[in-house]
């Protein structure tokens, strides 16, 4: 597994997060990341997918009515993960077709967070802390793409 591309697509539902973590952890382990790094990559991807499910795919309407899914739309809310491996790094692209969000708009500050009363915004902090590169783009055809990269040697 020195070079290669893996594609995984699941419905945008939290019940699939455990499967997504398993897949990502398995790939990261097999390409040779130490256990510690595997756990971090796993968590970053879990947080990114959680955000897609809980924020990008949640309509204003749903947000007002207690975060309920519209089940009939489920099929249009896939979580798509593309994992690319080469000699120097693992690149994980997460694509969704929802509202989208550029995490570079958020500058997570743990000290401020800990001092504040509000919870939330920890997900992007985790993603940025654990991955070497995090880039967001929106393309009308592809949707929202969050690209996360981790190098083998840091």
Partner 1 sequence: MIGCEISTRTFDLGTRIVQVVDVSGFLDAHTSSQLENTLNSLVEAGDYNLILDLKGLDYINSASLGLLMGIAKRVRPQGGDIRLVNLSEKINKIISVLGFSKVLKLFDQTKEALTSFK
Ligand X SMILES: Nc1ncnc2c1ncn2[C@@H]1O[C@H](COP(=O)(O)OP(=O)(O)O)[C@@H](O)[C@H]1O
- The one among 2, 34, 36, 66 contacting partner 1 by CB under 8 A: 36
DSSP code for 32: T
Q: State whether the Cα torsion 61-65-70-76 is positive or negative.
A: positive
- Round to whole Å and give the CA distance between 39 and 113: 23
Kindly write out the interface string for residues 54-73 of this chain, putting x where it contacts ligand X by CB under 6 A and - elsewhere.
-xx-----------------
Token representation of residue 80: 């798509």
With CA atoms as reference, report the closest residue to 100 among 65, 58, 69. 58
Place of tokens 């958020």: 106
Q: Smallest Cα–Cα separation from 136: which of 121, 122, 148, 124? A: 148
The item of ligand X, partner 1, a second copy, none sharing an interface with residue 93, based on CB under 5 to 8 Å by kind, is none
Name which of ligand X, partner 1, a second copy, none residue 101 binds, using a CB cut-off of 5 to 8 Å depending on partner kind: ligand X
Q: Contact residues for partner 1 (CB under 8 A)? A: 14-15, 17-18, 21, 29-30, 35-36, 39-40, 42-43, 46-47, 50, 53-54, 110, 114, 117, 119-120, 122-123, 125-126, 129
Contact footprint for a second copy (CB under 8 A): 1, 4-11, 13, 15-16, 18-19, 22-23, 26-27, 30, 75
């Amino acid at each position: 597994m020195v070079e290669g591309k893996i594609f995984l697509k699941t419905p945008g539902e939290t019940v699939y997060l455990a499967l997504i973590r398993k897949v990502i952890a398995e790939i990261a382990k097999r390409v040779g990341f130490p256990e510690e790094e595997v756990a971090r990559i796993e968590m970053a991807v879990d947080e990114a997918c959680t955000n897609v499910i809980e924020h990008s795919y949640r309509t204003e309407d749903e947000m007002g009515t207690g975060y309920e899914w519209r089940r009939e739309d489920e099929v249009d809310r896939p979580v798509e993960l593309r994992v690319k491996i080469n000699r120097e790094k693992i690149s994980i692209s997460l694509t969704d077709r929802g509202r989208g969000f550029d995490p570079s708009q958020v500058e997570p500050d743990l000290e401020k967070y800990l001092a504040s009363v509000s919870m939330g915004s920890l997900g992007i902090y985790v993603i940025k802390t654990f991955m070497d590169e995090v880039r967001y783009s929106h393309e009308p055809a592809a949707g929202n793409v969050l690209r996360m990269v981790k190098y083998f040697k840091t």
